[in-house]
Amino acid sequence: MKVAVEEAQRKLSVYMRERGLKHTRQRDQILEAFFAAGGHVSIDDLLGQVQERMAGVGYATVYRTMKLFSEAGVAHERHFDDGQSRYEPVVDDEHHDHLICTTCGTIFEFEDPIIEKRQSDIATAHGLRVVHHRHEIYGSCIAPDACRHRARPT
């Protein structure tokens, strides 16, 4: 993970330098907290994490910063069924989709070449070239007891 943050820091620095944006303490802290959080963090959660490192940071800064990170290509914004924006680190520009457990809320990631292939065939058949896609599978635990073990504090 250390490596991932550093790569993101470099990528972000380049992006900011190119457009005369400034390096600030809050942007540093937000980036670190964001990568430390692992993935699929909501703004609320992230703000909480950031405030532990640096009191006084407000929502606006986190919102603005995450938007910046998305534009710089170091974060990806996601919208699942709960109506909040969630962000996940972009690592090596890899792509994946999500499988969400409706029992415990765990979010799994998956990537399936067959599905990807079908998608682009379907798009082509309609005269389109895939720009991006969203694919979320919501499922309930076959064995709820086992599922509970995977539960994480949202």
Interface residues toward a second copy, by CB under 8 A: 79, 81, 99, 101-102, 108, 110, 112, 114-115, 118-119, 122-124, 126-143, 146-147
Question: How many of the chain's residues bind DNA (CB under 7 A)?
Answer: 25
Closest CB to a second copy among residues 95, 135: 135
Provide the minimum distance between the beta carbon of 79 and a second copy in the complex, in angstroms, as a whole number.
Answer: 8
Q: What, of a second copy, DNA, none, does residue 108 touch, CB below 5 to 8 Å by kind? A: a second copy
Taking CB under 7 A as the criterion, which residues in 26-65 touch DNA? 26-27, 42-43, 56-61, 63-65
Phi-psi group of 40: left, alpha or beta (phi > 0 → left; psi -120 to 50 → alpha; rest → beta): left
CA angle 70, 122, 134 (to 5 degrees): 25
Q: What, of DNA, a second copy, none, does residue 24 touch, CB below 5 to 8 Å by kind? A: DNA
The pair of three-digit structure tokens given for residue 1, joined into one six-digit string: 């993970």
Of residues 61, 43, 54, 137, the one with CA closest to residue 99? 137
Q: What is the DSSP pairing of strand 107-110 with strand 85-89?
A: unpaired
| Amino acid type, 133 | H
